[in-house]
Amino acid sequence: MPAAGRGERLGAGIPKQYLPLLGRPMLEWSLAPFLADAACRGVVVVAAAGDIHWSALRARLPRPVREAVGGATRADSVASGLAALRAARAGDDDWVLVHDAARPCVTAAEIDALRAAVGADPRAAGGLLALPLADTLKRGDAAHGALRSAGTLSRESLWRALTPQMFRLGALQRALEAAARDGRSPTDEAQALEWQGLAPRLVAGEATNLKVTTQADVTLAEAILAARGAVAARPAAVSGVRP
């Protein structure tokens, strides 16, 4: 789990992965379904050098978690996490799921769907959760003083990439190393594999699996998590009521 970003677009004063959502740090929500997943044999959190929040959170987690030190870009941080898995004797053919610390609303059902789809397609170069675009896309043009819509792009066959993204450890490490050698920094893991001519599988995720980037996203993420709590609590709340 890459968690070494600074959350500059959010500008909260602390890195966004530590912002409280319903009283728990975002990173704890993001980790929870993986820590509860018996098929996840090990978890690595990649924290920034000098992160003052991580060790206290780590001590509270329900199972041991490895740590790695993040780098300048997300790809560098992921590479650092993969090296930690190697050091823990993970092998070339082991599956790795990379998940943004900034996506606290991911569900166990999404993780299961990704694992099932990628696992069922042995020829696939891994895969990722993604969502088909729903909005009409405009190209902005500020050439004449005001920002105007200068055209409409086709959204046909366009998807938003989410996480987790799932690859064999060896294939993902080779792809990230090749990108680094070429001086390119992929914005997600799938892009590094695409640069190698591979085509990771797209697996439908949920719109609720948003990446928290702005303050509005913090509000949305809290509402999503709160709604789940309300649903879980409802049967107990009405248990005394006869139909």
- The footprint of ligand CTP (CB under 6 A) covers 2-10, 16-17, 46, 70-74, 77, 100-102, 211, 213
Smallest gap from residue 166 Cβ to ligand CTP (A): 16
Question: Which whole-number Å values give the CA distances from 77 to 80, 173, 224, in the listed order?
Answer: 5, 12, 28
Q: Which is nearer to ligand CTP, 99 or 124 (CB)?
A: 99
Residue 126, sorted as left (phi over 0), alpha (psi -120 to 50) or beta, turns out to be left
Binding site partner of 73, from ligand CTP, Mg ion, none, Cβ cut-off 5-8 A by kind:
ligand CTP
Binding site partner of 3, from Mg ion, ligand CTP, none, Cβ cut-off 5-8 A by kind:
ligand CTP
Q: Which is nearer to Mg ion, 27 or 203 (CB)?
A: 27
Query: Going along the chain, which residue ranges are E strands?
Result: 2-3, 20-21, 24-25, 44-47, 66-69, 95-98, 127-132, 137-141, 148-153, 159-168, 201-204
Q: Which is nearer to ligand CTP, 81 or 200 (CB)?
A: 81
Nearest Cα to Cα of residue 17 among 4, 8, 27, 30: 27
Q: Between β-strands 127-132 and 44-47, what pairing exists: parallel, antiparallel or unpaired? A: unpaired
Q: Rounded to the nearest 10 degrees, what angle do helices 26-35 and 108-119 cross at?
A: 50
Binding site partner of 57, from ligand CTP, Mg ion, none, Cβ cut-off 5-8 A by kind:
none
Query: 109 to 138, contacts with Mg ion by CB under 5 A?
Result: none
Smallest gap from residue 30 Cβ to Mg ion (A): 15
Question: Which whole-number Å values give the CA distances from 12 to 16, 31, 213, 219, 240, in the listed order?
Answer: 7, 21, 11, 13, 44
Smallest gap from residue 67 Cβ to ligand CTP (A): 12
Per-residue binder mask for Mg ion (CB under 5 A), 1-30, x = binder:
----x-------------------------
Smallest gap from residue 158 Cβ to Mg ion (A): 21
Phi and psi for 231 in degrees, rounded to 5? Answer: -65, -45
Q: Which is nearer to ligand CTP, 97 or 124 (CB)?
A: 97
Which residues of this protein are in contact with Mg ion, per CB under 5 A? 5
